[in-house]
Amino acid sequence: MSEIPNGRVVAVCAAKGHHFSKPPLLSIRLVKGLGVEGDAHYGEKVQHLYLQRKNADAPNLRQVHLMHAELFDEVGAKGFTVHSGDLGENVTTEGIDLLGLSTGTILHLGDEAVIEITGLRNPCHQIDSFQKGLLHATLDKTGPKLVRKTGVMSVVLTGGDVRPGDVIRVEPPEGPHRPLELV
């Protein structure tokens, strides 16, 4: 198993209400099994409104949403302006290929917090409400497969405070690579 380089936290964001964008904050607190304290998606059961309508008793596999800052540069080259929190993520990262991680990868955020990657975020039409055409700019094709670039979802294994500048240490799971699926 090859070692994955460390990354860093660029920004942290949260919002109490179900708004598309989330404002950047000085820090967020992750709570084991629940998510980001004070965020609309905080809870043991699914909090995403669309997913709640489908099955309100489903476990919350989307407690913390991470997005790579490198995406902002990529869509910027296509004429879009996107900043941390604009697309609803809780943690903006740098230096880690989030989309290439295996399901079950453990991320250590700063000194205390530990999360487990559960899968991919499925981008929705609200991205085009934010900036027309942005949804298409966050998608790509690799052969017949659609690549969704709007980040990954995770659950909190160990709580703690997370701040911009914190180091992110990547701990791959045992066994073969398991590609990320939508959650």
Q: What is the CATH number of the domain that holds 117?
A: 2.40.33.20
User: Do residues 14 and 38 touch, judged by C-beta distance below 8 A?
Assistant: yes
Q: Decide if pLDDT at 134 tops 80.
A: yes
- Residue 183 forms part of a structural domain: no
Query: Tell me: the pLDDT tens digits for 105-128?
Result: 999 999 999 999 999 999 988 999
Helix (H, G, I), strand (E, B) or coil at 128: helix
- Residue 144 forms part of a structural domain: yes
CA distance 130 to 85: 12
- Residue 52 forms part of a structural domain: yes
Q: Decide if pLDDT at 42 tops 70.
A: yes
Domain count across the chain:
1
- Residue 152 forms part of a structural domain: yes
- Residue 181 forms part of a structural domain: no
CA distance 165 to 169: 13
Confidence of residue 171 (pLDDT cuts 50, 70, 90): very high
- Residue 71 forms part of a structural domain: yes
- Residue 2 forms part of a structural domain: no
CB atoms within 10 A of CB 49: 10
Residue 1, pLDDT score: 46
User: Looking at the chain, how many residues does it have?
Assistant: 183
What residue numbers bound the domain in which 22 lies?
A: 7-171
HSE, side-chain direction, 13 A CA sphere, residue 128? 7
Q: Decide if pLDDT at 177 tops 90.
A: yes
178 vs 49, residue with greater confidence: 178
How distant is the alpha carbon of residue 5 from its chain centre? 18
- Residue 43 forms part of a structural domain: yes
Strand ranges inside the chain, DSSP E? 7-13, 24-25, 28-31, 35-36, 64-68, 91-94, 106-109, 113-120, 139-142, 145-148, 152-158, 160-162, 167-171
User: Mean pLDDT score of the chain, rounded to an integer?
Assistant: 95
pLDDT > 70 fraction of the chain, expressed in percent and rounded: 98
Residue 3, pLDDT score: 60
Q: Decide if pLDDT at 28 tops 80.
A: yes
